[in-house]
């Protein structure tokens, strides 16, 4: 969830990968050719800032960069980008007098996405053409359920291309597109003076590697690196992702590295070395909808703030006042979220807890009690049962304090940890905390959240009333990684804080879509075992969500990734 989404319809956001290449760059060097690098700038509030930059390619006027820029793409926003190309003369930062500006171009991310492949001329200052220089930007949307693969390559007995030393090999992988064009997927680092290189493992999305087509051809080239950019060709081979997946059980996948010229000229030519895939790790990325369709059950728990700061429930100014004609804010938030969650809970039974009140029979303060006063079974039948338990509970308790939420978080985390031993990992917990103020036990709460981040649990905190909730943003990981008092970071960002007052001007039906956006990264890896290998029925996904969006004024069904 992005903060910008709080005041309007759900943002249509997806991940986009951009790859860049240039042609006919200006030659600014006297003895060698330019050493180009591309900087990607983004415009925020009228100011241009650097987002990322490519690697530097030595002595090359037609560079194809291996660097991949990953951006969030918002369909409804104009996202201005600027690509700047420099000739680099050292390891210092770009922008000094020693670096030569080779040209730039401005565009929007929407233009690139719409064209998929955008070719633009480069301009110098004062809108002057940079000769015949052009930049090509290719865009690919990363679908939410494709995942990525980690590849481990090495080679043996490569041809020696150097006179006084051994070759300095590197590997390039190109995807062959449907139209026959080639797209650079990855370029490894250079291994100096070594005919048996072991390259660093690298990760690449499946859509980038093979467009999710396991039989798509991949062209792989091995080069002997030259500092002046005149690399010597060692050999090539063709592969598919299906071939790569044959690895396993201690066996490796190997390819002969072939130099076609040598093959034609030499009768006894066998190869110019062997390239080996020594390991492959496939990481599937699943959306919230994938988990639901895979059989995962959502267990919903609500925790309600009964501290004295809410006001006397008998007073109409109290946040807990029961108005016979309309629900109070606690009930509005509870119903809005609960009615969505109950569709994914097979038994329709929800745990309902309270904190910060004196409870019968001894009227001692409790920060973790069942609002139906049954400690052996704190569950209620459907959301209506929770509402009734809440209304029956109010006259029997004394609102008190302080606002301590760590006991309830620890309780649900412990419950989740116990269920994680089940092999099918088929249950996920959502804890909804409704509170009117900043928590008192902030240090203990941070510690409890860090511990809970290892469990199949997400926490939604809804701030009720007009209190200053600034400190509550600490618990929400949007502005930085939440850490325990000892400095330990959360494993996953599991907390979403929402001030309920931000939704008074929009439909209550909109609230669940904002706070129940569970990004795939919020799911612990232990749940992966519950997932089937693939889902291809797009119509079924749309049908599932269809009933949920009937009351939402604006909805973008961008893909099957849970947006």
pTM: 0.56
In this structure, the dihedral spanned by the alpha carbons of residues 157, 163, 169 and 174, taken in order and rounded to 10 degrees, is -100
pLDDT score at 437: 81
pLDDT computed for residue 309 by the predictor: 93
Write the DSSP string, 337-392: HHHHHGGG-TT-EEEEEEESEEETTTTEEESSEETTS-TT--EEEHHHHHHHHHHH
Backbone torsions φ then ψ of 114, nearest 5 degrees: -65, -40
Residues 309-318: contacts with CB within 8 Å, 24+ apart? 309/401, 309/403, 309/436, 309/437, 309/467, 310/399, 310/436, 310/465, 311/399, 312/399, 313/394, 313/395, 313/399
Q: Starting from the edge strand earliest in sequence, which strands make up the sheet with 357-359, in order? A: 364-366, 357-359, 398-399
Round to whole Å and give the CA distance between 152 and 203: 9
Which pLDDT score is estimated for 260?
Answer: 95
What local confidence, expressed as pLDDT, does residue 340 receive?
72
Half-sphere exposure of 233 (CA within 13 A, CB side): 10
Burial-class residue 33 by CB neighbours within 10 Å (0-12, 13-18, 19+): buried
Judge residue 461's burial from the number of C-beta atoms within 10 Å of its C-beta, 0-12 exposed, 13-18 middle, 19 or more buried. Answer: buried
CB 333 within 8 A of CB 500: yes
And the tokens for 489?
Answer: 């970071």
| C-beta neighbour count of 284 within 10 angstroms | 17
pLDDT at residue 30 in the model: 72
* Tokens read off for 470: 């600034």
Q: What is the pLDDT of residue 418?
A: 76
> Are the C-beta atoms of 33 and 55 separated by less than 8 Å?
no
| Residue with token string 């996904």 | 541
Are the folds of 14-142 and 295-529 the same? no
Report the alpha-carbon distance of residue 74 to residue 476 in Å, rounded: 22
**Two tokens at 453?**
């981040």
Domain boundaries, the chain: 14-142, 148-283, 295-529
CATH architecture of the domain formed by 148-283: Sandwich (2.60)
- What angle do the packed helices 442-452 and 406-419 form, to 10 degrees? 10
β-pairing, 457-463 vs 349-355, is: unpaired
Write out the two tokens for 31. 């003895």
The two tokens of residue 225 are 């690196």
Contacts of 256 (CB under 8 A, 6+ apart): 237, 270, 271, 274
Q: Residue-wise pLDDT tens for the chain (563 aa)?
A: 333 333 334 445 678 899 999 999 998 877 788 999 999 999 988 899 999 999 999 899 999 999 999 888 877 678 999 999 999 876 555 555 556 899 999 999 989 988 889 999 999 988 899 999 999 999 987 755 457 899 999 999 999 988 888 999 999 999 999 889 999 999 999 999 999 999 999 989 888 899 888 999 999 999 999 988 889 999 999 999 999 999 877 789 999 999 999 999 888 999 999 999 999 998 765 555 566 666 777 888 999 999 999 999 999 999 999 988 889 989 988 888 777 777 777 788 999 999 999 999 999 999 999 999 999 999 999 889 999 999 999 999 999 999 999 999 999 999 988 754 444 446 788 899 999 987 899 999 999 999 998 888 889 898 998 888 877 878 886 666 788 998 888 888 889 888 888 765 554 444 444 444 444 444 444 444 434 333 333 333 333 333 333 333 333 333 333 33
Q: What is the separation, in whole angstroms, between the first and last Cα of the chain?
A: 10
- Kindly state the tokens that stand for 199: 């390259």
| CATH domain 295-529 topology | Rossmann fold (3.40.50)
Report DSSP state, residue 551.
T
The CATH architecture of the domain made up of 14-142 is: Sandwich (2.60)
Which sign, positive or negative, has the C-alpha torsion 237, 241, 246, 247?
positive
Rounded Cα distance between 367 and 370, Å, is: 10
**Which pLDDT value is given to residue 287?**
53
**Helix (H), strand (E) at residue 304:** strand 297-305
The pLDDT score that the predictor gives to residue 514 is 43
How far is Cα 42 from Cα 83, in angstroms, rounded to an integer? Answer: 9
Q: How many residues does the chain have?
A: 563
Other CB atoms within 10 A of residue 220 CB: 19
């Amino acid at each position: 969830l992005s903060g910008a989404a709080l005041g309007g319809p759900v943002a249509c956001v997806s991940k986009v990968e951009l790859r860049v290449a240039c042609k006919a760059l200006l030659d600014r060097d006297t003895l060698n050719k330019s050493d180009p690098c591309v900087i990607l700038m983004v415009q925020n509030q009228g100011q241009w800032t650097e987002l990322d930059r490519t690697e530097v390619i030595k002595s090359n006027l037609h560079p194809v960069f291996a660097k991949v820029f990953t951006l969030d793409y918002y369909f409804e926003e104009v996202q201005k980008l600027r690509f700047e190309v420099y000739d680099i003369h050292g390891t210092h930062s770009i922008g000094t007098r020693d670096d030569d500006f080779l040209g730039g171009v401005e565009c929007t991310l929407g233009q690139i996405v719409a064209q998929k492949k955008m070719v633009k001329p480069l301009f110098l200052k004062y809108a002057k053409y940079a000769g015949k220089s052009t930049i090509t930007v290719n865009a690919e949307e990363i679908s939410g359920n494709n995942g990525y693969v980690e590849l481990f390559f090495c080679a043996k007995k490569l041809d020696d291309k150097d006179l006084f030393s051994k070759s300095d090999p590197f590997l390039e992988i190109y995807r062959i597109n449907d139209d026959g064009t080639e797209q650079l997927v990855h370029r490894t680092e250079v291994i100096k003076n070594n005919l048996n290189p072991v390259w660093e493992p690298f990760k690449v999305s499946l859509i980038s590697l093979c467009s999710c087509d396991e039989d798509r051809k991949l062209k792989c080239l091995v080069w002997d690196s030259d500092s002046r950019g005149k690399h010597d060709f060692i050999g090539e081979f063709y592969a598919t992702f299906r071939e790569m997946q044959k690895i396993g059980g201690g066996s490796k996948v190997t390819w002969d590295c072939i130099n076609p010229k040598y093959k034609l000229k030499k009768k006894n030519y066998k190869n110019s070395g062997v390239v080996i895939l020594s390991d492959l790790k496939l990481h599937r990325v699943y959306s919230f909808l994938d988990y639901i369709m895979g059989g995962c059950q959502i267990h919903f728990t609500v925790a309600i703030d009964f501290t004295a700061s809410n006001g006397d429930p008998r007073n109409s100014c109290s946040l807990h006042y029961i108005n016979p004609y309309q629900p109070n804010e606690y009930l509005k938030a509870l119903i809005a979220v609960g009615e969505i969650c109950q569709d994914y809970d097979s038994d329709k039974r929800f745990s309902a807890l309270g904190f910060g009140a004196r409870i019968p029979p001894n009227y001692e303060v409790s920060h973790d009690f069942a609002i139906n006063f049954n400690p052996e079974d704190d569950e209620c039948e459907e959301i209506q049962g929770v509402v009734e338990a809440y209304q029956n509970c109010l006259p029997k308790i004394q609102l008190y304090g302080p606002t301590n939420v760590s006991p309830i978080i620890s309780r649900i985390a412990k419950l989740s940890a116990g269920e994680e031993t089940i092999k099918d990992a088929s249950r996920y917990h959502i804890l909804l905390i409704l509170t009117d103020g900043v928590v008192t036990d902030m240090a203990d709460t941070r510690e409890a959240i860090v511990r809970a981040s290892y469990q199949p649990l997400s926490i939604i905190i809804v701030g009720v009333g007009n209190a200053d909730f600034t400190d509550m943003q600490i618990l929400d990981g949007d502005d930085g990684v939440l850490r325990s008092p000892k400095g330990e970071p959360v494993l996953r960002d599991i907390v979403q804080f929402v001030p309920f007052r931000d939704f008074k001007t929009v439909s209550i039906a909109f609230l669940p879509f904002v706070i129940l956006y569970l990004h795939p990264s919020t799911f612990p890896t232990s749940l992966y075992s519950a997932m089937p290998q693939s889902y291809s029925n797009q119509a079924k996904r749309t049908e599932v969500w269809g009933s949920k969006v009937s009351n939402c004024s604006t909805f973008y069904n961008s893909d099957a990734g849970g947006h």
